[in-house]
Amino acid sequence: MSTKFFTNQDQNTLFNKFQGVFDNNKDIEYFDALVGYFRASGYFKIRPLLNDVPNIRILVGINVDALISHYQTKGLLFQGDANQTLKNFLAKTKEDIQTAKYSKEVEDGILQFIEDICTKKIEVKAHPSKKLHAKIYIFKPENWNEHRSGSVITGSSNLTDSGLGSNANQFNYEFNVKLQDYDDVKFASEEFERLWIEGVHILPFEITKLKKQTYLNDEFTPFEIYIKFLIEYFGNSVEFDPNTIDDLPEGFMRLNYQTDAVKSGLKLLRDHNGFFLSDVVGLGKTVVGTLIAKEFFYTNGFPSHITNTLIIVPPALKQNWVETLDLFGLQNYRIITNGSLHKITNAKKYDLIIVDEAHKFRNDSAEAYNELQKICKTSTNHRLKDGSFEKKKVMLISATPLNNRPEDIANQIYLFQDSKDSSLEVANLQHFFRQRIDRYKALKNERDVEAVKHGVKHIYKEIREKVIKPLTIRRTRSDLKEHELYSADLEKQGIRFPDIEKPKKIFYQLDEDLDNLYDETMRLLDNERYGIKYFRYQAIKYLKEPLRSKYKNADVASTALAKLMRTLLVKRLDSSFFAFKKSLDRFTEATKIMVDMFENGTVYIAPNQKVNEYIIDGREEELLAKLLDLQLTDPSITITEPDQFRDEFIEILKKDYDLLKPLNEKWQKVTVDPKLDEFLKRLKEELLVAPVNKTGKLVIFSEAMDTTNYLREKLEEAGIKGVLEVTSDNRNKLENVIRENFDANIPRGNYKSDFNIIIATEVLAEGINLHRSNVIVNYDTPWNSTRLMQRIGRVNRIGSTASSVHIYNFYPTAKVNNDIELEKRAIMKLQAFHSALGEDSEIYSPDEETQSFGLFEKDMDESKDERLAFLMELRKFKKDHPEEFRKMKNMPLRARVARNKKILDKNTICFMRNKRRDAFYWIKADNSIDELSFVETANEFRCDPPEKAVPLPDFHHKQVQIAHTDFKEKIMSDLVSPQAVDTTQGPNEKRAKAFISQRLKLPFISEEEKVLMKAAIKAISVGKFQKLQRDVNKLQRAVKKTPVPHIQELEALIKILQQYPLKMQKTEDPAIAIKSMEQYAPEIIISETFIHTK
């Protein structure tokens, strides 16, 4: 059946109708179009059809509602404003150009449209007074009359790509009719003429402006593109307001780098709900954290909402925080120590959580971590406009976020990000980190040193670029010294940082016998086949049932305890011969006592009691009576007989003793101490005298209290006065004495010099200033890089009194004749320690070679933030050239340029972004792609102002489209859920969710319990709590082993879930909602194509 109607279905599209009319009516002289709106980006589709049509007119409607509203606000009646109509049309056309598909075909069509208006090939008018819904297309031949009627199409289709139906993958359902009666065409033509007369002409010079105002402008220079790139990347960070921080307490100076940190911190709290404050040790993180908290207090809904802040700190830092918070007048805060998290009973009360020394919360299996995560993931009392409650904001303070294993970094991030649904470019952090953790572990079995070095560097580079940098505020001393805004500020205020000299090695030489004993000891301590097995600490592992079942995880606990003892002995050997001899003697004696208990017929297992002391003192009867009494309340106590142990235990225990006894005897005969001798010698010649020591103050660190005690006694015996020993036993008591003698920040009138040498355990590695000294001696090795940086940070601080800091590290070596051999032997011993300590110590940072002194030799001032250099360059350009800066800031997005660069011939670099992240693509000549970092991209974009652009090559659009498609596909893979989440769910998550889902089907659960269980399923899906699925699976195993009625199962499950802050928002569904692709669509920001021209 023939009909005049068509609907864009089955190739019966408006475009095909146009084509049919023009192909079969070669004499058409007039084409008039009346449309509700018009897309210049769709013009290229119909342009070939209009080649031979001499008279073309397009009348476009505009959104008069907005204009009417504008006039009404001024109390005026809108009667058609030609100027406003013109502006409206041009703005809409500009928007169309900027959002059109980025292809050469579309672009050529837009340029053709502009040219056609300029050459008067077409005329365009915008109608000012009516909101045109009509769509009319009139075709009239030459000498149009009732015998040559022409035709008219009317209906719902606009003159756009989707309205024409010219894109098979994207077209609207339209309803149109084609009429060919003369009266119909005449009526439509007369109506069009009447409206045309009322229209506002779009003049050629007006439309030509659009080319310059959009990315079609081909006059941009490479330097303008470079500055625009920086402006888009840094956003508001370029604006610097020194008055952001005001109302500082007396004695505190306004520092520009701290002002920047406050601004950046507030943005990160808004964007990601948390961040790392990681300025290097000594730059005043406590002050910056306090300033951010204070600014957050006044910008988080004040005065209608009063912000509460919870600060969690190690005990050693609490007093410093209390003093700083009170000085700066932060309101409504509570400060607690790490061990008091259980005292927080109303987590909703707090809006901001500050965690100092956050790296202490890196183990997600620790109960303290679980408590902290629940606090951080509990929503606040701050109700938002949509009725939901604001999420908590979390500030993690740590100078060394990257000096940890990948899983440690991940766990800290999970305090404020969900592991499978983050706000970062990496949506599924758990999957991202799992891959890198597996690669990290695999490298431990790799024998090729270069492969290990390269592999570790690559892993940490990925973590740094994709996860750490977007969540971190970090300034190093190099940053402050190199950038004028900061350095001038510091100089003006008389603040200086000492230069950090390269750490110096102190070798203490062992004679041949001692060297052999040293090496033999290391072999015995660490050789799993021939060495000591530490069975004294593995007794419960060898118990027979039913006694063995009394101790949960007996195998794991025994292995961990044995490993701990091995680590202790290795570290004591490094610390001092005195400390090692004491520890070895104690261990030998403890092993002998266990052997004796077997031979005497009674074995005591009491992990919480000092069994050895009673037996050594001959007080067995007293011990037996005490343990019998304590057994009633302490289930860990066991008094048993040797036959309750597996037969092999006593034999392997005796083998350990047979190794320990002669080793201990050899060491007890050692009376020399070459390390102490070398230390006393250096003390007099170098460590306490100029030019090294300009203050007369010296700081000595050791992990072992036995060593610090020994050193103090030996220094006093040597006649050296003014020695202060600080351990965990006396640290709080000596707080004021330490400050008066070693803190350069107290008023000079309060300085004292009763003590010039301080010997301390790790208890002074944080939370105290010791910067009246400029020399640190690491008497033993800080086997963790975080600890090393913390030690150095005690003297490398704002306000240090000396111009340089000196660091000394001790290394054992054999007596040899030349320095090269001396160092080689020392490295061999260092490697032996590294091997023995394994995962318990991270000697080397990711960028250190394992065949050198690694971390202990590196530049202790650490690397600078390369991004900061570009920000400072942009700020300087803005200050020096404000008009040019404003012009470049107003350049359109998608601005691009071609440059002459032989080395990058036929390559394109493109900056794109969406709401989640920025992306920097490098598209190579073969159309393969790599993602770059911001710094790598900026280095390629950077150029001198005089550089000229070259014509844009034809392949440019294709390369940008390749990057755009890749970015879009990655976004889609992240956003499609729940499928994307489920495919990366581990077996633990799947089991836990299945267990809860099955209980949801029980007939006797309440609606409230259903909501709680659904919220738990969602929390597991997005990785909100690391321990939740473990707790559920623990219950699942328990009921599988010992079945109980379903009601008891449910009650136990609900009890677990109620321990977590689980609550469904009103708009949430238990399934993870499919997020809008449109919301996260990628946007092209800036691009450059490189070609080689002669």
Percent of the chain with pLDDT over 70: 84
Most confident of 223-227, 418-422, 568-572, 780-784: 223-227
Pairing of strands 804-814, 504-510: parallel
Range from 305-314, 631-640, 901-910 carrying the lowest mean pLDDT: 631-640
Confidence of residue 860 (pLDDT cuts 50, 70, 90): very low
Amino acid in the structure at residue 456: V
In this structure, what CATH number is given to the domain that contains residue 815?
A: 3.40.50.300
Confidence of residue 584 (pLDDT cuts 50, 70, 90): very high
- pLDDT tens digits, residue range 356-369? 989 889 888 888 99
Confidence of residue 738 (pLDDT cuts 50, 70, 90): very high
- pLDDT tens digits, residue range 55-81? 999 898 765 444 334 434 444 334 455
If you average pLDDT over residues 1070-1093, what whole number do you get? Answer: 72
Residue 531 has pLDDT above 80, yes or no: yes
- pLDDT tens digits, residue range 176-199? 888 899 999 999 999 999 999 988
Between 719 and 40, the higher pLDDT residue:
719
The pLDDT of residue 90 is: 78
Both 641 and 688 in a single domain? no
Is 263 domain-assigned? Answer: yes
Which tokens sit at 618? Answer: 């001959």
Residue 560 has pLDDT above 80, yes or no: no
Asked if residue 852 lies in contact with residue 499, where contact means CB atoms within 8 angstroms, the answer is: no
The pLDDT of residue 319 is: 86
The pLDDT of residue 949 is: 95
What angle do helix axes 554-575 and 705-717 make, rounded to 10 degrees?
A: 20
Confidence of residue 828 (pLDDT cuts 50, 70, 90): low
Q: % helix / strand / coil in the chain, to the nearest 5?
A: 50, 15, 35
If you average pLDDT over residues 1069-1094, what whole number do you get? Answer: 71
Distances (CA, A) of 777 to 471, 677, 718, 773: 34, 15, 18, 11
The sheet with strand 274-277 has its strands ordered as: 333-337, 309-313, 352-356, 393-397, 274-277, 472-473
Is 724 domain-assigned? Answer: yes
The pLDDT of residue 905 is: 93
Is 877 domain-assigned? Answer: no
Range from 227-236, 510-519, 564-573, 754-763 carrying the lowest mean pLDDT: 564-573
Is cis: bond before 691, omega within 30 of 0? yes
Both 662 and 676 in a single domain? no
Q: Where is the domain boundary, 833, 857, 881?
A: 857
Both 444 and 532 in a single domain? no
Range from 269-278, 521-530, 676-685 carrying the lowest mean pLDDT: 521-530
Residue 492 has pLDDT above 80, yes or no: no
Average pLDDT of the chain, as a whole number:
82
The pLDDT of residue 1012 is: 92
Is 41 domain-assigned? Answer: yes
Most confident of 318-327, 896-905, 995-1004: 896-905
Between 385 and 680, the higher pLDDT residue:
680
Which DSSP category does 279 fall into? Answer: P
Confidence of residue 973 (pLDDT cuts 50, 70, 90): low
Sign, CA dihedral 1004-1009-1010-1014, equals negative
Place of tokens 């950090």: 500
Asked if residue 355 lies in contact with residue 394, where contact means CB atoms within 8 angstroms, the answer is: yes
In this structure, what CATH number is given to the domain that contains residue 157?
A: 3.30.870.10
Is cis: bond before 546, omega within 30 of 0? yes
Most confident of 231-235, 307-311, 1078-1082: 307-311
Both 33 and 177 in a single domain? yes
Rounded to whole angstroms, the Cα distance separating 787 from 158 reads 69
Residue 783 sits at the vertex; the CA angle it makes with 781 and 786, to the nearest 5 degrees, is 115
Which tokens sit at 630? Answer: 């304590």
Confidence of residue 403 (pLDDT cuts 50, 70, 90): low
Between 444 and 354, the higher pLDDT residue:
354
Determine the straight-line distance between the first and last CA of the chain, rounded to whole angstroms: 65
The pLDDT of residue 901 is: 92
Is cis: bond before 222, omega within 30 of 0? no
Is 633 domain-assigned? Answer: yes
Both 663 and 692 in a single domain? no
The pLDDT of residue 77 is: 38
Distances (CA, A) of 873 to 222, 477, 542, 941: 16, 18, 67, 14
Both 634 and 741 in a single domain? no
Both 253 and 189 in a single domain? no
User: Other CB atoms closer than 10 Å to residue 1043's CB: what's the count?
Assistant: 10
If you average pLDDT over residues 215-231, what whole number do you get? Answer: 94
Residue 451 has pLDDT above 80, yes or no: no
Which class for 80: exposed (0-12), middle (13-18), buried (19 or more C-beta within 10 A)? middle
Residue 493 has pLDDT above 60, yes or no: yes
Both 561 and 618 in a single domain? yes
- Beta-carbon contacts of residue 640 (< 8 Å; ≥ 6 apart): 543, 547, 602, 603, 605
- pLDDT tens digits, residue range 142-161? 888 888 889 999 888 777 77
Both 396 and 442 in a single domain? yes
If you average pLDDT over residues 505-531, what whole number do you get? Answer: 89
Domain count, the chain: 5
Residue 716 has pLDDT above 80, yes or no: yes
Is 497 domain-assigned? Answer: no
The pLDDT of residue 774 is: 93
Both 682 and 635 in a single domain? no
Between 866 and 675, the higher pLDDT residue:
675
Confidence of residue 371 (pLDDT cuts 50, 70, 90): very high
Rounded to whole angstroms, the Cα distance separating 403 from 590 reads 36
- Domain holding 560, by residue range, is 514-668
The pLDDT of residue 859 is: 47
Residue 862 has pLDDT above 70, yes or no: no
Residue 811 has pLDDT above 80, yes or no: yes
What's the chain's Rg over C-alpha atoms?
A: 38
The pLDDT of residue 351 is: 97
Most confident of 561-575, 617-631, 804-818, 911-925: 911-925
Both 781 and 686 in a single domain? yes
Is 903 domain-assigned? Answer: no
The pLDDT of residue 1073 is: 38
Is 552 domain-assigned? Answer: yes
Confidence of residue 625 (pLDDT cuts 50, 70, 90): low
Rounded to whole angstroms, the Cα distance separating 782 from 764 reads 13
Asked if residue 525 lies in contact with residue 565, where contact means CB atoms within 8 angstroms, the answer is: no
Which is nearest to 391 in space by CA: 404, 381, 406, 399? 381
The pLDDT of residue 855 is: 39
Which is nearest to 683 in space by CA: 716, 709, 730, 706? 716
E strand map for 571-683: 603-605, 638-640
Residue 632 has pLDDT above 60, yes or no: no
The pLDDT of residue 78 is: 40
Q: Where is the domain boundary, 617, 647, 668?
A: 668
Both 635 and 684 in a single domain? no
Pairing of strands 472-473, 393-397: unpaired
